């Protein structure tokens, strides 16, 4: 996994599990974990992740906007998929090491009637179509996911 993806994943974890009210606070936490980031980079990361500032009973804090982050996660997924292959009955998606379960989860969350489900290893996802007639549509979907991050 690239340093950027590791940083983005850690930012998401911190925002979900801690009360982060300022860029400075997050920069200090990341720095203490050995992740060096400037405030300018953090601002770009927030935009990419769909982070918004919300007012809570404890005060203002940064959170992931689920609508925006879903779009951004789809872009990140494309970086993690290496290839997609199929035969007459199944689809195999190759991923970066350790990312197959995340990709499988994302595919499952699409709730497509064309997909019965997925099975994930470390770097391989088996996508099981509901019918062999849907294989090309699913392959096209995964290939589109691969290119979402471009542009």
Express each pLDDT in 116-130 by its tens digit: 999 999 999 999 999
CB-based contacts of 61-66 (< 8 A; 24+ apart in sequence): 61/19, 61/20, 61/21, 62/15, 62/20, 62/21, 62/26, 63/15, 64/12, 64/15, 64/16
> What six digits make up the tokens of 32?
């203490």
Please write the tens of the pLDDT for every residue from 15-53: 988 999 999 999 999 999 999 999 888 988 887 787 888
Contact status, residue 86 vs residue 121, Cβ threshold 8 Å: no
Name all domains of the chain by residue range, CATH numbers in brackets.
3-64 (1.10.10.10), 78-147 (3.30.1360.40)
- pLDDT at 72 (0 to 100): 56
- Write down the pLDDT at residue 89: 95
**Alpha-carbon torsion, ordered 78, 83, 85, 91, to 10 deg:** -40
Contact (Cβ atoms closer than 8 angstroms) between residue 76 and residue 149: yes
- Over 90: is that where the pLDDT of 73 sits? no
């Amino acid at each position: 996994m690239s340093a950027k993806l590791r940083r983005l994943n850690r930012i998401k974890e911190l925002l979900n599990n801690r009360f982060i009210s300022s860029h400075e606070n997050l920069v200090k936490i990341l720095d203490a974990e050995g992740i060096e980031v400037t405030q300018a980079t953090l601002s770009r990361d927030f935009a990419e992740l769909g982070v918004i500032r919300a007012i809570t009973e404890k005060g203002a804090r940064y959170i992931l906007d689920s609508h925006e982050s879903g779009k951004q996660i789809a872009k990140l997924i494309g970086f993690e998929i290496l290839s997609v292959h199929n035969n007459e009955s199944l689809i195999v998606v190759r991923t970066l090491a350790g990312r197959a379960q995340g990709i499988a989860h994302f595919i499952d969350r699409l709730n497509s009637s064309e997909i019965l489900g997925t099975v994930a290893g470390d770097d391989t996802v088996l996508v099981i179509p509901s019918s062999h007639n849907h294989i090309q549509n699913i392959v096209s979907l995964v290939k589109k996911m691969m290119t979402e991050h471009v542009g």
